[in-house]
A and B are shown apart, each in its own frame.
Chain A
Amino acid sequence: GAGVSQSPRYKVAKRGQDVALRCDPISGHVSLFWYQQALGQGPEFLTYFQNEAQLDKSGLPSDRFFAERPEGSVSTLKIQRTQQEDSAVYLCASSLDRAGGYTFGSGTRLTVV
């Protein structure tokens, strides 16, 4: 596609519920990143994929967070047993390589109530 597509755009979850956030990167983009952006803050790194390989997951805040990219294209970020502190915008970005200048999606705004 022309850009990075994320779905859903908005998600309201009850505390303790599991959620899954989807990212469709630009076709052919090897690198895929997930970032978390709290209100009034800059994006914070969560995890990085090169094709289907998850090369860095050091930014995932807890073992409740899990990401996958099984076929090297679409990626899913899953959050189990959501907590209020998980409320944020989750951004996905993709690139042909790791050189930077990534294209970001519009994000999924997650609100945990």
Chain B
Amino acid sequence: EDQVTQSPEALRLQEGESSSLNCSYTVSGLRGLFWYRQDPGKGPEFLFTLYSAGEEKEKERLKATLTKKESFLHITAPKPEDSATYLCAVQALDRGSTLGRLYFGRGTQLTVWP
């Protein structure tokens, strides 16, 4: 069964204190791994897609990396506006009509305080 586990569940950082969020996954054939950001009362906002081990993507203070078993979201010198829940999701290789379905983890709630 496809499964996504994120850790830690919650993370508090002081502004400027870099850290990483982890997403480990088990899927029978990975088509893509996705990172989303979710603010309270909002829907998830797309950040990155990673397709193969060794791939990296960057956006401002965020960098996502992928191995065969896990992905990391590195946050460099975070600011209070980076506070949000970060969700990881996987998409499996072709399964006919279920292609496209995302399997989400429970998320990491990040708080950055000044």
Report A's interface with B, CB cutoff 8 A. Answer: 4, 31, 33, 35, 40-45, 48, 55-56, 58-59, 91, 93, 95, 98-107
Identity of the chain A residue whose Cβ is nearest the Cβ of B109 in the assembled complex: A40
Contacts of B63 in A (CB 8 A): none
Contact partner, B43, options A45, A58, A101, A107, Cβ 8 Å: A107
Residue among B34, B91, B101 with the most chain A CB within 10 A? B101
Q: Does B21 contact A (CB under 8 A)?
A: no
Interface size class of B (residues with CB under 8 A): 20 to 34
A68 CA to B107 CA in the complex, in Å?
29
Q: Are B34 and A100 in contact (CB under 8 A)?
A: yes
Q: Are B104 and A33 in contact (CB under 8 A)?
A: no
Contacts of A95 in B (CB 8 A): 100
Identity of the chain B residue whose Cβ is nearest the Cβ of A97 in the assembled complex: B100
Chain B positions 51-82 with a Cβ under 8 Å from a chain A Cβ: none
Given A91-B43, A100-B49, A42 and B107 contact (CB-CB distance below 8 Å): yes
Contacts of B49 in A (CB 8 A): 100-101
A/B pair count, beta carbons within 8 Å: 66
Identity of the chain A residue whose Cβ is nearest the Cβ of B9 in the assembled complex: A40
A19 CA to B99 CA in the complex, in Å?
29
Report B's interface with A, CB cutoff 8 A. Answer: 4, 31-32, 34, 36, 41-46, 49, 87, 89, 91, 97-107
A106 CA to B45 CA in the complex, in Å?
10
Residue among A99, A100, A102 with the most chain B CB within 10 A? A100
Q: Are B104 and A44 in contact (CB under 8 A)?
A: yes
Contacts of B103 in A (CB 8 A): 45
Q: Are B44 and A104 in contact (CB under 8 A)?
A: yes
A93 CA to B42 CA in the complex, in Å?
12
Q: Apart from A41-B106, A104-B43, A104-B44, what 9 extra A-B contacts exist at CB < 8 Å?
A: A33-B100, A33-B102, A35-B102, A43-B104, A56-B98, A93-B43, A100-B32, A102-B46, A103-B46
